[in-house]
Amino acid sequence: MQQHAGRVCGRLAPSPTGHIHLGNAWAFLLAWLSVRSRKGRLILRVEDIDPQRSKGEFTGTLLEDLRWFGLDWDEGPDIGGPAQPYLQSLRMACYEEALARLEAVDATYPCFCTRRELRHLASAPHVEDMGTPYPGTCRRLDGEKQAALFEAGRRAAVRLRCSGTTVSFVDGLQGEIRASLADCGGDFALRRSDGVISYQLAVTVDDALMGVTDVVRGRDILPSTPRQIVLQRLLGYATPVYRHIPLLLDNGGNRLAKRHQSLTLRKLRQEGVEARRVVGLLSHMAGLNPSEMSVSPQELLPRFAPENLPKHDQCVTEDNLRRLVP
């Protein structure tokens, strides 16, 4: 399998579906430190591939909030670069070319299952988000049946054939990972029936074409990694080094998400909280700042070692939040 060589390259990949919250900031800070501590190149890519969830007005605020937080990047939608464009919504030609290559080697098939049928099969509202294996209903359709469905006006998603595939890789933080694609959802969609390219395909193509060698992201994305590695192998792409970091949780043990509006960087900034205090809290949870003192990302670089990051989820307590407020 092709391997990366040369300078380390990482990426920050926010989605414009809302403001950046502490959980996002945690992941972006650790991704930034992982690259900058090795004098690597950093790309900012806006993952706005889903038109139903992405809002253009959030793109500018994402960049503004990340810069306020103390992060920088070498390439991105605001400064350009050799791998532009850096908005996924402008990269459709790249995804369609990769999809055509997969279709040419019979690695895909059309899926005519409706969302209602998928809910019935999985007994869950989002079969792929839940990781429930797709049973291969449409994989068994012959060419005549497929043609008849297209003739009847049925729209089709495009799925990847994943029969019996098992992937092994060494995560830079979690250690050796071995998973079958059945455990990760089975035959997964590459393009939805409405024409929207899937996260799995878009991220795989973008990381490869942008030269990304290191990916730091939350452990909740771990089930996606075997899928992306299989796509990399089929398309002849190199596989980055992955580090899946623990999540930040609220007092109830729930993952911090966009619903935690009071914990967005924008809200904290409006309340007079200094960026250095936020970095101080997050670096303390990462084991980089024993005293929780105010600090900038740059000041953390000499003490950063990715192998020393915690492996278990961290809880943001009310005491933590109270200490942020001046």
Catalytic residue at 145? no
How many Å apart are CA 133 and CA 156, to the nearest integer?
18
How many Å apart are CA 12 and CA 42, to the nearest integer?
7
> According to the 3-state scheme, what is the secondary structure of 226-276?
HHHHHHHHHHCCCCCEEEEECCEECCCCCECCCCCHHHEHHHHHHCCCCHH
Q: Verify cis geometry, omega within 30 degrees of 0, for the bond prior to 85.
A: yes
List all residues 6 or more positions away from 273 whose beta carbon is below 8 Å from its beta carbon.
324, 325, 326
The DSSP code for 309 is S
Tokens of 95: 């995804």
- Name the active-site residue from 39, 55, 145, 258: 258
Residues labelled catalytic: 258
